[in-house]
Amino acid sequence: MEKGIKEPFLEHILEATKSVFDMMAGLEVEKDQVLICNNDKVKGDVTGVIGLSNDKVKGSIAISFPKDLGKSVVANMLSMDAEQISDDDLKDGIGEITNMVAGDLNNRIGNIFKLSLPSIITGKGHLVSLSHNNTPILFRFLIQNQPFYLLTTFEEK
């Protein structure tokens, strides 16, 4: 599909994402689109970013939500109402989701990567971009018809 990322790997990302949302929040995630994203077009309100690397390859995964959907997801994880979710809960929860998607992906491919600690970016409509040489792959997912995005890119060191 793309020089840096092979199609079976993308399938693992898809399955890891579905699994985390299903098991941790009881939410069904639908894949809407997968794009090779030449330009950084993704905007979000809260984004978790995590690095994956080994001796030969390094990459990143960013998962970005509009604030209302992010709060709904975290509320589901905690069995609370979205109105009860504080900004700190939101950041912490999206960080955990990012960590678990990357961890579940890593488990599915034989734990070949070391994971960084996730970092969280907040701010209404911020631009999400990953600083690698290869073109990122963009997943557009839907939860109850509301979109969120997963952006990933990998390259050889």
Partner 1 sequence: MKLLIVDDSTTMRKIIMRGIRQSGFKVDEFLEAGNGKEALQMISNGGVDVVLTDINMPEMNGLELLEALRSSGETKDIPVVMITTEGSEMVIEKAKQLGVDGFIRKPFTPEALGSTLSSVVR
**Interacting residues toward partner 1 by CB under 8 A:** 19-20, 23-24, 74, 77-79, 88-89, 92-93, 95-96, 99-100, 102-104, 106-107, 111, 115, 117
What is the DSSP code string of 126-141?
EEE----SSPPEEEEE
Using an 8 Å Cβ cutoff, are 17 and 29 in contact?
A: yes
E-assigned strand segments in the chain? 30-36, 42-53, 57-65, 114-115, 119-128, 137-143, 146-156
| C-beta closer to partner 1: residue 24 or 121 | 24
Least distance (Å) from partner 1 to the CB of residue 2?
Answer: 26
- Give how far the C-alpha of residue 85 lies from the chain's centroid of Cα atoms, to the nearest Å: 20
Beta bridge partners of 49: 62, 119
Work out how close the CB of 84 gets to partner 1 at its nearest, in angstroms, rounded to a whole number. 11
Minimum CB separation from partner 1 for residue 59, in Å? 16
Compare residues 117 and 157 and give the one whose CB is closer to partner 1.
Answer: 117
Question: Which C-beta is closer to partner 1: that of 82 or that of 115?
Answer: 115
